[in-house]
Structure 1
Amino acid sequence: MRSATASRQRLAVLMAITLWSVSGLITLCAESPYRFFDWTVTYGDIYPLGVRQQGILINGQFPGPEIYSVTNDNIVVNVRNNLPEPFLLSWNGVQMRKNSYEDGVYGTTCPIPPGKNFTYNFQMKDQIGSFFYFPSLAFHKAAGGYGAIRILSRPLIPVPFPEPAGDFTVLIGDWYEANHKVMKAVLDGGHRLGFPDGILINGRGPTGASFTVDKGKTYRLRISNVGLQHSLNFRVQGHLMKLVEVEGTHTIQASYSSIDVHVGQSYSVLITMDQPAQDYYIAVSTRFTTKILTSTAVLHYSNSIRPVSGPVPCGPTTEIGWSINQARSIRTNLTASGPRPNPQGSYHYGQINVTRTINLVSSAGLINQKQRYGVNGVSFVPAADNTPLKIADYFGIPGIFRVGSIPDSPSSRQLVLDTAVMGADYRTFVEIVFENLESIVQSWHLDGYNFWVVGMDGGRWTPASRKQYNLADAISRCTTQVYPRSWTAIYIALDNVGMWNLRTEFWARQYLGQQFYLRVFTPVKSLRDEFSIPANALVCGKAANRLLI
């Protein structure tokens, strides 16, 4: 009896193993590692400029915890919202391949209600590099809630520089002492914000942050501008910086004494500690502003014999030419591997026919006696019932948005309000030209994608401007600047189906409508092209009573 029972048990085990092998072994063996994060979002007191403020903390931290990962890792972030209002996190630069439901902006994801949680699930698919996350609703970004994201290369993929002795995150950005709710009320009232009160380095004001290093060793600094408006210049007293990576792309390794980091951008530099053993200033200052704000941190040699002293090193002048020449010098390292073992330059973007040109110009004006901003004459407003566009698209809910509600070219009409959505076909190759007719530096970001920055210059763009495009080794990134009274052109391969936010990184303008959604669409419903809506997706607005299948 025991023998028969044992035989049946062994047979059951063998059958289970066989079924597991057939149905799941290949998937499980091929599946990349998972990394789990459990975050609680609260308000708390912070003192970044020496004055008590209400900040947004994640697990009691400001800035929030860092997401540390490796190419193709699966990321699971459980976010509990203990704020008294809805909350969302977005992932600046993480491409969310085939998965715009997890993008964490108004157009894709329902907000997390107060006292509730939502678990983000996404993969660092074929990505490396330095990025950051931030809160995307209700001007929360002005209160904190941001943190760093780093995606390391897999161990077998060669990196085009020796392993550094240390790897530091440096989050920089302009900052206001005013409460973010007061700032939001100012914007809601149709007014503009004043000049910021200071610059933060890793959440601290002047000389608050410090980085300890050993003489003779080389360190990596991952620098992200997480601020609200201003371009910033970054420099280290007495040291040169070797640029090695920009938003997931290995660069030609040129050395710089200072680097302009525009809003929303991220850079990685290597610095060798080759100076006398003492402490040095790390300086960050606003660019292209009449009033210059400067903040400092300390680079501390472990065997230092002297604290920081002397004047803070000056940044470049306000002259635009210096910055545009630096931007043009930042190019892709075609001999380096990216997240996969093939060379990054093997994708010859310059040899692909462009099927469509989109010309984008910022708009500004008063609507109902309130200040608004837009793109091509359209100022974005959420749908009346706050139904996310991607959710409405999934359920086929009419009346939420209209594809084509923003034109491909600027309009002479007065600024209008609309839930702006531009349609685009999957697997097309598109040129976008940003034209800046203003006297400020603009910064533009596209979720879900990296793009090639093929050209930039002063004046107006014309078809003849294509003659100066870099069609060989232009940098691939997700955020680009457009200089005053200038243009910037980018190429994009639309290979990521979904609803993707294209926005200014000037956050007050984004809040007041300078954004729209690019709906990259294919009629073929296949998991090969786009993942299904997550089983845990929140539903709201007109989708509130819909059941997920």
Structure 2
Amino acid sequence: MEPFRQFRVTAASFKSLLYASFVQLQIFLLFGSAIADNPQFYFDWTVSYTPLAPLGIFKQVIVINGQFPGPTLNATTNDILNINVRNNLNEPFLLTWNGVQQRRNSWQDGVEGTNCPIAPGKNWTYSFQVKDQIGSFFYFPSLLLQRASGGYGAIRINNRIVIPVPFSPPQHEFDVLIGDWHNADYRELRASLDRGNYLPTPDGILINGVGPFQENFAFRPGATYRLRISNVGLKTSVNFRIQDHLMLLVETEGSYTLKQYYENIDIHVGQSYSVLVTANQIPGRSYYMVATSRFIIPELAGIAVIQYPGSLTNPIGPFPPGPPPFDFTYSMDQARSIRWDLAVGAARPNPQGSFHYGLINVSQNIILENDMAMIGNHQRYTVNGISFVHPDTPLKLADYFQLNDVFKSDSIPKAPDGRYPALGTSVIDLKYRDFIHIVFQNPLPILQTWHIDGYNFFVVGMDEGNWDESRRSTYNMVDAISRSTIQVYPNSWTAIMVELDNQGMWNVRSQEVDKWYLGQELYIRVKGVGQNDPSTIPIQDETPIPANVIRCGRAGPST
């Protein structure tokens, strides 16, 4: 049973709930009664290990409240969520909320650059508002390659009742979490990366935490269902399809899309989609739901079953065909076909198209080129020649306490400059409300995925080759999709535009965990205007530092 709007107070969490109350008092003083009028919900999650064998080989899987995948976090626009996380692992732990935009509140981002970890045997309460947002997302562990052993779960942010949804209510909604899976323990995989090895080929694809033919979805003839699909894997793109059923794409990562039917959809690591599927096939039969790996050898398949009333145990016939495993052109053309629906509202009643991003002057141009390099006899991944290393103090805390020796502003070039690859702590300073053009350039023969915490951005263009100024003529400046995770195809580029409307210290990363773990990330520090000291974020324009903040490193121990 998912903990929808669940209120539980245990002895272990009582202190954390008191802390959360202090945080909400601070928010009230900052933003006034408007936020106080929004409902608050409390969740109590315990993170632990349990032996499971999704693909027939037991390993220690990270579960939340004994569940794998973890509980669905089910919220509505503007809800305030207080999630007390107790860490019963033997390692530090953090959760991050993939795609959820905590408004001016990077204190709750749950990545190593913004938060001190939750120590073994300790707990910490995340407290944030899902303000002005709808859509399908997921959470996952952000430290130490723990995502390779689970710990993830779905997030739904529903429309307020006063905001119409641009399609008829479905009979039911299903969360479909798909992703690659390794039978090896995550600590073994981490140690292998530390020795300079690559991640091995996955052992299979899971659907909702189980192997082939272990997950069933009940369909009633004539009914329409919403599937919220997320790729929660480590590094493998997947192609998703359902035997004899078309999928009507309606939403991706908080944006309603132009409604188009697809026989199959490529879903890259970290991405989420919502599709509507109508049960219009023969009653008394069952059908394959298939998620196959893309761009790797051998091809792997996750298989679930859709069952109509009275259906046979197993579907009949071959698996529904997908695109050729290495057809990048097919995948890129499909990605370009996904468009923003300008005529409908999302979290607010005004149409999505009322924000005319194509008419805004660009403040800065940034080119981020990923690469791989040997640094100190170790394989690393870089952005503009720098492979990220974390200091002993989270950047967010160092910034707040003005610890000037932890990182330097603008410590990464805003375009590749041919420098020799090196380790570094990459931070780019950007101004609140500026409108930024970013090009992700991928010179490697493998696909990349990129994510920006705290933001959605407009995917205005993608193509093969190297980006140059002439490519702007190909941009979609009218109805480009707005999302938070985007793929960059091999030897190709992807261009995005983003309004910096969310102050804080925000993580920009590869969504593939091996590249992220080995340095492919940076942070953008979005500063308010009119600040006398340009080296700091104006605290008065952000959510105050949480009363229960965990302090570590040079920021001092928690009291």
TM-score bracket for this pair, using the shorter chain length: over 0.9
Instruction: Name the amino acid aligned to 1:92.
Output: N
**How big is the shift at 1:148?**
0.4
Aligned to 1:544: 556
1:286 to 293, 299, 320: 293
- How far did residue 446 of structure 1 move? 0.3
Report the CA distance between 1:213 and its aligned residue: 1.2
Q: CA deviation at 1:534?
A: 0.6
Letter in 1 for 2:499: A
Partner of 2:110: 104
User: CA separation of 1:28/1:364 partners in 2, compared to 1, >3 Å: closer, same or farther?
Assistant: closer
Q: Which residue of 2 aligns with 1:530?
A: 542
Q: What SS does the corresponding residue of 1:253 show, helix, strand or coil?
A: strand
| Distance in 1 of aligned mates of 2:556 and 2:35 | 38
Q: State the identity as a percent.
A: 54
Counterpart in 2 of 1:300?
A: 307
Q: Give the direction of change, closer, same or farther, for the CA distance of 1:545–1:198 in structure 2 (3 Å limit).
A: closer
* Residues 179/224 of structure 1: CA separation in 2 closer, same or farther (3 Å cut): same
Partner residue, 1:379: 387
Which residue does 2:223 correspond to in 1? 217
Say whether 1:158 aligns with 2:159: no
- More displaced, 417-426 or 73-82? 417-426
Q: Is the 8 A contact 2:527 2:538 kept in 1?
A: no
Matched ranges for 1:382-401 at <5 A: 382-383=390-391, 386-401=392-407
Say which of 420, 425, 435 aligns to 2:426. Answer: 420
Matches within 5 A, 1:198-347: 198-277=204-283, 278-304=285-311, 307-317=314-324, 318-347=326-355
- What letter is aligned with 1:218? T
Contact 2:135 2:252 (C-alpha < 8 Å) held by counterparts: yes
Distance between the aligned counterparts of 2:454 and 2:310, measured in 1?
45
Whether the 8 Å CA contact 2:338–2:481 is kept in 1: the answer is yes
Greater mean deviation of Cα atoms: 236-245 or 182-191: 182-191
TM-aligned CA deviation for residue 484 of structure 1: 1.0
Q: TM-score, normalised by structure 2?
A: 0.91
Contact kept? 1:215, 1:303, Cα under 8 Å = no
Deviation at 1:25, TM superposition (A): 13
Give ranges in structure 2 of 5+ residues lacking alignment. 1-27, 532-536
**Structure 1 residue 411, shift from structure 2 partner:** 2.6
Decide which moves more: 318-327 or 444-453: 318-327
Equivalence for 1:349: 357
Corresponding letter in the other structure for 1:230? T
Structure 1, gaps ≥5 residues long: 1-21
In the TM superposition, what are the counterparts of 1:405-444 in structure 2 within 5 Å? 405-444=411-450
Q: Which amino acid aligns with 1:542?
A: R
Q: Of residues 365, 373, 376 in structure 2, which corresponds to 1:365?
A: 373
SS in 2 for 1:280: strand
Matches of 1:309 and 1:96, distance apart in 2: 46
Q: Is the 8 A contact 1:439 1:484 kept in 2?
A: yes
Distance 1:29 1:370 in 2: 49
Q: Deviations over 1:98-151 (max 9, x none)?
A: 000100000000000111100000000000000000000011010100000000
Q: Could you give the per-residue CA deviations for residues 391-449 of structure 1, whole angstroms, max 9, x where no partner exists?
A: 01000012111111111011312210011111111110000001111111111000000
Aligned 8 A contact 2:371 2:443 in 1? no
Q: Given that residues 549 and 558 in structure 2 are in contact (C-alpha distance below 8 angstroms), is that contact kept between their aligned partners in structure 1? A: no
User: SS of the counterpart of 1:403?
Assistant: coil
**Alpha-carbon separation, structure 2, partners of 1:28 and 1:91:** 24
- Cα deviation for residue 528 of structure 1 reads 6.6
Q: How far did 1:303 drift?
A: 3.6
**What pairs with 1:494-509 in structure 2 (closer than 5 Å)?**
494-509=500-515
Structure 1 window deviating more from structure 2 (341-350 vs 315-324): it is 315-324
Q: CA deviation at 1:26?
A: 7.5
Question: Is the CA contact 1:244–1:268 (under 8 Å) kept in the aligned structure 2?
Answer: yes
Instruction: Call closer, same or farther: CA 1:310–1:431 in 2, change over 3 Å.
Output: same
Alignment partner, residue 93 of structure 2: 87
- Give me the CA root mean square deviation: 1.7
Structure 2: distance between partners of 1:333 and 1:98: 27
Matched, 1:143 2:143: no
Query: How does the TM-score come out when normalised to structure 1?
Result: 0.93
Per the TM alignment, residue 269 of structure 1 is displaced from its structure 2 partner at its CA by 0.1
Mapped partners of 2:377, 2:35: distance in 1: 60
Mapped partners of 2:470, 2:111: distance in 1:
37
1:167 Cα deviation (Å)? 0.2
Q: Secondary structure at the match of 2:259?
A: coil
In the alignment, the residues of structure 2 paired with residue 531 and residue 511 of structure 1 have an alpha-carbon distance, to the nearest angstrom, of 29
